[in-house]
A and B are shown apart, each in its own frame.
Chain A
Amino acid sequence: MSTAEAESDALHDRALGFVRAFEAGVDMPESFDALACDLARFQARHVPGYARLCDARGVRPSALRIARDAPGVPTEAFKVSRVASFPDVDARVTFHTSGTTLGARGTHAMRRPGTYDHAALAFGRHALMSGLPARVPVLVLAASPAEAGDSSLSHMLGLFSGALGTPAATTFFIRDEILDIAALDDRVARAIVEKTSVLVLGTSFAFVHLLDSVGDAGFPLPPRSRVMQTGGFKGKSREVDADTLRADLARAFAIDPRAIVGEYGMTELSSQFYEATARDAAAAVGTYIEPPWARVVPVHPESLLPVPEGEVGVARIEDLMNVDSAFAVLAADRVRRVPGGFELLGRWPGASPRGCSIAVDEILGASALS
């Protein structure tokens, strides 16, 4: 085992200490900043791009004392450069973003995916399963890991269906991009007969397809069922704003709108964020909560410094589970801190043209359509 691997393993163990403490309901084993700074130092030693980024920003990793002083890695870097502390051959899983930038997809390789799995499951269970039996039928409206092996979302949904779901012949109801409504209907009908709540996990565009298919007829779920909805529309369905989608799903599924939980995650991260409406009667719709091992910090899009509380900034996401890649990721989404968590406000509008030079978003739009 190399020194880097040994260092990485020790950091993974420390990161998992946060997850275990959370599951046990005890204090975190150390401060967030202590582990974050050690991760930054490790990544600056073993991820060449991160060393360059620190250097460019005048940051000495050895002198770091708080997480926020370590530079964040823009998500675009995952598309044009390798963001990993280990050689390619040591990657156990490699996830790719669905969208491409000029033919390139973002890549996030993992040497110890168990860390991702443990953290994702712990916080997913916390956000989605409160008040439900330990296992319920899990119905997934997304491609399965077998079909989309490089999708971190499919991986996570597979993980959830295995750990939170009751045994079933069919869990994933989208195959070859086609929603099998008949099979889904059959599975829901069985759950209604068995008086069992279900957990439905899916992408926004899959839910829109379901709504379009059932029309006014509705698609009632058993009482106390839960829904987790994630992701954008990516040109795969008509676009529906979040409030409308929630209301339409609640009506179609005949469930409380607060039982529909938004999830926010991305390929470049190892942690996810959820609305807390299913577990906290006082939680606001549209407010996402963080696990103790991840923070979302709105930063000024030019200075990259944290904005004052309550102001909108670009999401800098500090994720202690990103041991071997980038513990701080600069996302493209706008966020705002609010009591209890943060709000997700979509992307910044692109620059309006002041000449005939093509805008970057126009290039990306054209390449997405081609």
Chain B
Amino acid sequence: MRAQGDASRAVRHLLRAAAEVAHDPALVARLVRSTGLSAEGVRFALERSLELDATDAEVAALVAHATRAPAVHVVLSANVFTAPLRAIALARASSDAVTVRPSTREPVFAAALVAAAADPSVTLAESRDVGDVASGEIHVYGRDETIVAVRRAARPAVVVRGHGTGLGVALVLAGDGLDEAARAIAEDVVAFDQRGCLSPRIVLTLGDAARAAELGRALHRALEELGRSVPRGELDVAERRDAARYAETMAFAGHVHRAERHLVGVATEAGPLLVPPPGRHVHIVAVSDVAGAQRLLGPIHPHIVAVGTGDADAVRSVVGQRVRVSPLGWMQRPRLDGPVDLRAIGPA
């Protein structure tokens, strides 16, 4: 039986390794290549979203979330580049035998972290087949279809914990200053170029269409301003195609603020929701009250991982406990107190 203190020490050791990795000057260029983010975007994420300043209470909470397992195999399929820290920390808190298969698309950070940690209990297993895992747990981070495939391939005795994809929603309250809210939302949008499951792609504002329009203008300005110091990386062809289509649709269905490296669509009426593709593309809708927000979000509720708002209590009553709720501007800085995706707690 491992003591909780052992697990906490292992997590602390990993955090020190992550800090070492984050300060490696050679890392940024490699991450630019693997993530598609700009160099400034990589630094922005390292400075603001890598959870190096966890308190003892947070680490204790993370350890408490972890279930003990004889072995854990971590499959990183689709995640933001800093995610391996939390994923490996959770696995390490669960077990003294952790193997990690990094994402084929972004293997840099996970490999660097494992190397820097030099923890004999954590090793890379780039080609390990999930069907070869004989016991313990598999923690898989990826699209639903990947999680389903891993569950199918895993042996019956192995517990598979899936951490799926998702999106974030920001809720601007009636009393919020729009410029201030827009600047905070822009910070949440710019991190990882909106490719994280916490990234807000939908912004609801309590009020009328005129307030939504004003917020749209403010967010357009805020994204332009922040985009000058943290430029967006390159989108691939499919991402650009989806963005162009979103822009055309919103030009018809409302109003769209187009910039070279972001889009802000403002719906004229609170009709059916349109979710923009990732890549600094934000959809704004006005809702009359929190109940209206709940109705509008109904079809995407299972996919919501995070809500940013100034009134956590009101939002919590709408979205429940399995959604991370944080102030605007802090959506991409979740505390290291357990999985990012609270929907994933417990085996399916």
Q: Which residues of A contact B (CB under 8 A)?
A: 49-50, 52-53, 56-57, 71-74, 76-77, 79-81, 83, 101-104, 301-302, 304, 314, 330, 332, 348-360, 362-363, 366-367
Q: B141 — nearest CB in chain A belongs to which residue?
A: A356
A71 to B247, CA, bound (A): 13
A227 to B145, CA, bound (A): 36
Q: A102-B272, A356-B83 are in contact. Are A302 and B244 (CB under 8 A)?
A: yes
Q: A52-B255, A102-B273, A103-B298 are in contact. Are A74 and B249 (CB under 8 A)?
A: yes
A353 to B78, CA, bound (A): 6
Q: Inside 8 A of A360's CB, which chain B residues have their CB? A: 242, 275-277
11 contacts between A and B (CB under 8 A): A49-B252, A52-B255, A56-B258, A80-B274, A81-B254, A101-B274, A104-B271, A301-B244, A353-B78, A356-B80, A357-B195
Q: Inside 8 A of A49's CB, which chain B residues have their CB? A: 252-253
Stretch of B4-12, B19-27, B232-240 on the interface side? B232-240
Q: A57 — nearest CB in chain B belongs to which residue?
A: B251
Top-9 shortest CB links A-B? A355-B195, A104-B272, A351-B238, A56-B251, A81-B253, A358-B165, A356-B197, A49-B252, A103-B299
A68 to B281, CA, bound (A): 28
Q: Inside 8 A of B36's CB, which chain A residues have their CB? A: 354
Q: Inside 8 A of A352's CB, which chain B residues have their CB? A: 236, 238
A57 to B267, CA, bound (A): 18
Q: Inside 8 A of B253's CB, which chain A residues have their CB? A: 49, 77, 80-81
Kindly list 11 other residue pairs between chains A and B, CB separation below 8 angstroms, not including A351-B236, A355-B197, A357-B194: A52-B254, A73-B252, A102-B299, A102-B300, A302-B240, A349-B238, A351-B238, A352-B238, A356-B78, A356-B166, A363-B300
A52 to B255, CA, bound (A): 8
B241 and A79 form a contact (CB under 8 A): no
A76 and B274 form a contact (CB under 8 A): yes
Q: Inside 8 A of A77's CB, which chain B residues have their CB? A: 248-249, 252-253
Q: Inside 8 A of B299's CB, which chain A residues have their CB? A: 102-103, 367
Q: A304-B244, A362-B165, A363-B303 are in contact. Are A80 and B249 (CB under 8 A)?
A: yes
A355 to B163, CA, bound (A): 12
B242 and A351 form a contact (CB under 8 A): yes
Q: Inside 8 A of A332's CB, which chain B residues have their CB? A: 245
Q: Inside 8 A of A103's CB, which chain B residues have their CB? A: 272-273, 298-299
Q: Inside 8 A of B245's CB, which chain A residues have their CB? A: 74, 76, 301, 330, 332
- Neighbour of B165 across the interface among A50, A104, A350, A359, CB < 8 A: A359
Q: A74-B245, A102-B273, A103-B272 are in contact. Are A357 and B252 (CB under 8 A)?
A: no
Q: B273 — nearest CB in chain A belongs to which residue?
A: A102
A291 to B115, CA, bound (A): 65
A358 and B197 form a contact (CB under 8 A): yes
Q: B81 — nearest CB in chain A belongs to which residue?
A: A355
A355 and B249 form a contact (CB under 8 A): no
**How far does the Cβ of A155 sit from chain B's closest Cβ, in whole Å?**
23
A304 to B252, CA, bound (A): 15
Q: Inside 8 A of A73's CB, which chain B residues have their CB? A: 248, 252
The interface centre, meaning the residue of A349, A354, A360 with most chain B CB atoms within 10 A of its CB, is A354
A101 to B273, CA, bound (A): 9
A357 and B278 form a contact (CB under 8 A): yes
Q: Inside 8 A of A104's CB, which chain B residues have their CB? A: 271-273
Q: A101-B272, A356-B196 are in contact. Are A362 and B144 (CB under 8 A)?
A: yes
A355 and B192 form a contact (CB under 8 A): yes
Q: Inside 8 A of B240's CB, which chain A residues have their CB? A: 302
- Neighbour of B201 across the interface among A52, A357, A366, CB < 8 A: A357
B303 and A366 form a contact (CB under 8 A): yes
Q: Inside 8 A of B244's CB, which chain A residues have their CB? A: 301-302, 304
A354 to B258, CA, bound (A): 23
Q: B166 — nearest CB in chain A belongs to which residue?
A: A358
A49 to B249, CA, bound (A): 9
A104 to B253, CA, bound (A): 14
A353 and B248 form a contact (CB under 8 A): no
A50 to B105, CA, bound (A): 41
B78 and A53 form a contact (CB under 8 A): no
Is B326 interfacial (CB 8 A cutoff)?
no
A301 and B248 form a contact (CB under 8 A): no
A332 to B267, CA, bound (A): 21
A132 to B233, CA, bound (A): 60
Is B35 interfacial (CB 8 A cutoff)?
yes
**How far does the Cβ of A368 sit from chain B's closest Cβ, in whole Å?**
11
Q: A356-B196, A363-B303 are in contact. Are A350 and B252 (CB under 8 A)?
A: no
B143 and A355 form a contact (CB under 8 A): no
A56 to B268, CA, bound (A): 15
A80 to B192, CA, bound (A): 28
B78 and A355 form a contact (CB under 8 A): yes
Is B95 interfacial (CB 8 A cutoff)?
no
Is B99 interfacial (CB 8 A cutoff)?
no
**How far does the Cβ of B333 sit from chain A's closest Cβ, in whole Å?**
16
Is B256 interfacial (CB 8 A cutoff)?
yes
- Neighbour of B199 across the interface among A350, A353, A357, CB < 8 A: A357
Is B167 interfacial (CB 8 A cutoff)?
yes
Q: B239 — nearest CB in chain A belongs to which residue?
A: A351
Q: Inside 8 A of B341's CB, which chain A residues have their CB? A: 356
| B313-348 interface with A by 8 A CB criterion | 341
Q: Inside 8 A of A101's CB, which chain B residues have their CB? A: 272, 274
A351 to B249, CA, bound (A): 18
A355 and B241 form a contact (CB under 8 A): no
**How far does the Cβ of B263 sit from chain A's closest Cβ, in whole Å?**
12
Q: A302-B240, A363-B300 are in contact. Are A356 and B144 (CB under 8 A)?
A: no
Q: A48 — nearest CB in chain B belongs to which residue?
A: B268
B252 and A355 form a contact (CB under 8 A): no
**How far does the Cβ of B235 sit from chain A's closest Cβ, in whole Å?**
8
